[in-house]
Structure 1
């Protein structure tokens, strides 16, 4: 009887140890398999060598400054990245007569990649001089100095210009790598809502025939890949 009892305890103990070991194995292997892609702020922090808090402050300054500019009807440019402006289509409320739905690509905001960003993606940004002008002559220019100033609140010190530049460069780098892989990159607003500010993706523009505005002659435009920006719900609401 005693021997039987001890034997049973041994079996139970071994069973418990085996279950614990199996559970730890699941937590280790399963956790890695189920892990999500790093969030944008985490990716920026890793790329720039900054804390997540500082990376978030920089990103909030960028999205906040862009939103405020667009609300006023101004254009905004993030140096080395691209320019944002209000789309003329934003005032249009047309719908597909067959489905009753608005066009899928209808966005309140247009985005133009700066030459540096387009070059990093191996894209043809179109007219180089025109793209450069938009990235140089926007109403609001968001650069390291802007971010450093925008992250300063009252007695709280803002990011240094050096760290601000690191954050901007990291955002450009992370976005570039994501788009190169064919991923869609979403940028949250300061409140953390996913895709509230907008998302970037690569879109293929088919070949088309247009006219030279200077000569009036018809010209064939070759098919090419372009950076597409789709404004999120919160940004669209803010600018409309």
Structure 2
């Protein structure tokens, strides 16, 4: 009997692990981190897109590399259908001694604006209307399937096809929507992060969180009084949920 009980527990535990795997490596705890390792995000994207993990990683690295390069020279970048990235403009403000416990809340040096399609998939009110649409159309660097196809080619590899590049982007968007709808945080590693796959296709099993590029989460913005940019008149802005982006260490270093 003890042996049967142990066996049943083992089966249940393995079943739970399988369920997690079928959940594409995303954390099940609300408010936790989803796809904490780069390898997990790549596996999730591969499962969604039907592409190999190697091709998915090349596409993901092309996105993070292009965004980092654009922001490092002050340009904006957009991943089509997902969102736009630009340098934050910080106004003068009162800070606190970093050694003090009463330090200001961490701020990201990068601003993220969800494209209307992504906001709609998350059942969010885009909130910025034409402004959000314009940022997603008129960024300095537009990362789409054609861009990924070009960027993934080098002396040793042919670039991904436009069709496969589109599937990789759609896989990333699907994983992001799944995670954020659950209330999880989605971490994304920079291309040179040690958590990536090696040349043999294997992945590092480091326990460190791969968010060197940045992380995405849903944040509730309180109702507040604003001003109409056209008239200067005060207007009441309703509370809403927005996608919050926090730049990681590597991206922050590149833009500062």
Query: What band does the TM-score fall into relative to the shorter chain?
Result: 0.7 to 0.9
TM-score (normalised: structure 1): 0.84
Equivalents in 2 of 1:205, 1:96: separation in Å?
27
Decide which structure has greater helix share: 1
> How far, CA to CA, are the matches of 2:8 and 2:52 in structure 1?
31
Structure 2 equivalent of residue 30 of structure 1 = 13
Aligned-CA RMSD value: 2.5
Structure 1 pair 64–183 and aligned structure 2 pair: CA distance change class (3 A): same
Q: TM-score, normalised by structure 2?
A: 0.79
Distance in 1 between residues matched to 2:175 and 2:247, nearest whole Å: 19
Name the residue aligned to 1:74: 75
**Where does structure 1 lack aligned partners over 5 or more consecutive residues?**
1-17
Number of residue-to-residue matches in the alignment: 222
Rg (Cα) greater in structure:
1
Other structure's SS at 2:137 match = coil
**Match runs of 1:1-240 below 5 Å:** 28-33=11-16, 38=25, 39-89=40-90, 94-95=95-96, 99-104=101-106, 106-190=107-191, 191=193, 192=195, 194-240=210-256
Could you list the per-position Cα deviations for residues 181-213 of structure 1 after superposition, in whole angstroms to 9, with x for gaps in the alignment?
A: 111111112222611111110000000001112
Any unmatched runs of 5+ in structure 2?
26-39, 196-208
In structure 2, distance between residues paired with 1:90 and 1:72? 20
Offset at 1:223?
0.4
- Tell me whether 188-197 or 138-147 shows the greater mean CA deviation: 188-197
**Per-residue CA shift, 1:14-54, capped at 9, x if unaligned?**
xxxx97x8887666543443576621111100000001111
Aligned partner of residue 182 in structure 1, secondary structure = coil
